[in-house]
Amino acid sequence: DGGITQSPKYLFRKEGQNVTLSCEQNLNHDAMYWYRQDPGQGLRLIYYSQIVNDFQKGDIAEGYSVSREKKESFPLTVTSAQKNPTAFYLCGSGYSGNTIYFGEGSWLTVV
Amino acid sequence: QQPVQSPQAVILREGEDAVINCSSSKALYSVHWYRQKHGEAPVFLMILLKGGEQKGHEKISASFNEKKQQSSLYLTASQLSYSGTYFCGKDGGGGADGLTFGKGTHLIIQP
């Protein structure tokens, strides 16, 4: 079935650790996105990629890194530089025109 | 800049109507509406393009007033399944560079 798969669903990070969230899509979409969601804040754009081997910073890119080596994959690394990483992370994809279809999300908690 | 949604929350009885507004201080190229259930991914409802068009999805419709830089989502004869948080996402016309979302409107439908 076509869709967007995020893993893991739940992740716990210790202080000072880097963690990577996986996002894979088989919808043949060119564009992929990472959003962060905090209670009462809506969704905020971290990074986006319109084509393979190219990506752009969104509104809150500090403390995060991404790669886009394959069209299907857009992993997000939350680095130790991100001081408040506890949040719900959403990966999305779409064609041009900005309609975004989201995966099921990943919950990241700092312990 | 984040679009402003109003109201922040609405409580309705099943069968009642609701209107959710989304406005922007900057020009809107298009507006996208999503619904999110708690702990789940946002689900795309519809896109409104320039031209003041109105679209419908079951008993949910929306309008887009380009001059006023605002969009409204109309839910008629609400059903229990309509409960959730509704987000509008604005497209600034930069191609597939992501949407800027409002903070959301919480809709609770009571039997």
What digits encode the pLDDT tens for the residues A13-25? Answer: 888 899 999 999 9
From A27, A40, A39, A1, select the one nearest A91 (Cα to Cα).
A27
Element holding A51 (H helix, E strand):
strand A42-51
What digits encode the pLDDT tens for the residues A77-94?
999 888 899 999 999 999
More confident residue, B47 or A70: A70
| Helix locations, chain B, DSSP H | none
Candidates B1, B36, B38, B91: best to mutate against A (most CBs of A within 10 A) is B36
* Residue in chain A lying closest to B85 (CA): A42
Contact A22, A89 (CB under 8 A): no
Virtual torsion, Cα A50, B4, A39, A90, nearest 10 deg: -10
Q: How confident is the model at residue A98 (pLDDT cuts 50, 70, 90)?
A: confident
Cross-strand pairs, A5: A24
pLDDT band of residue A38 (cuts 50, 70, 90) is very high
Is the CB of residue A84 less than 8 Å away from at least one CB of chain B? no
In whole angstroms, give the CA distance from residue A92 to residue A23. Answer: 8
Q: Which two tokens stand for residue B41?
A: 């991914």
CA distances from B68 to A61, B22, B36, B49, B102 (A): 31, 11, 26, 14, 17
- Name the band, by pLDDT with cuts 50, 70 and 90, for residue B27: confident
What pLDDT, on a 0 to 100 scale, did the predictor assign at position B30? 87
Q: How far apart are CA B23 and CA B9, in angstroms?
A: 16
Interface touch B87/A50, C-beta < 8 Å? no
Q: How many CB atoms lie within 10 A of CB A102?
A: 22
pLDDT band at B52; cut points 50, 70, 90:
low
Instruction: Tell me how far apart the alpha carbons of residues A82 and A86 are, in angstroms, rounded to a whole number.
Output: 10
Q: Average pLDDT, whole number, for chain B?
A: 89
Nearest chain A residue to B9 by CA distance is A40
Residue in A35, A28, A30 with CA at minimum distance from that of residue A52: A30
Preceding peptide of B3 cis, ω within 30°: no
* pLDDT, mean of residues B72-101: 88
pLDDT at B54: 62
Q: Any chain B CB within 8 A of the CB of A30?
A: yes
pLDDT band for A60, please (50, 70, 90 cuts).
very high
Contacts of A105 in chain B (CB under 8 A): 39-41
Q: Does B26 touch chain A (CB under 8 A)?
A: no
Q: Coil, strand, or helix at residue B33? A: strand
Q: What local confidence, expressed as pLDDT, does residue B100 receive? A: 92
Encoded tokens for A8: 């893991």
Task: Using pLDDT thresholds of 50, 70 and 90, give the confidence band for residue A9.
Answer: very high
N-terminal to C-terminal alpha carbon distance within chain A: 35
When mean pLDDT is compared across A23-27, A42-46, A80-84, B3-7, the lowest value belongs to: A80-84
Of A31, A44, A101, the CB nearest to B44: A101
Beta-sheet pairing, A106-110 with A87-94: antiparallel
Q: Is the C-alpha dihedral spanning B110, B60, A30, B100 positive or negative? A: negative
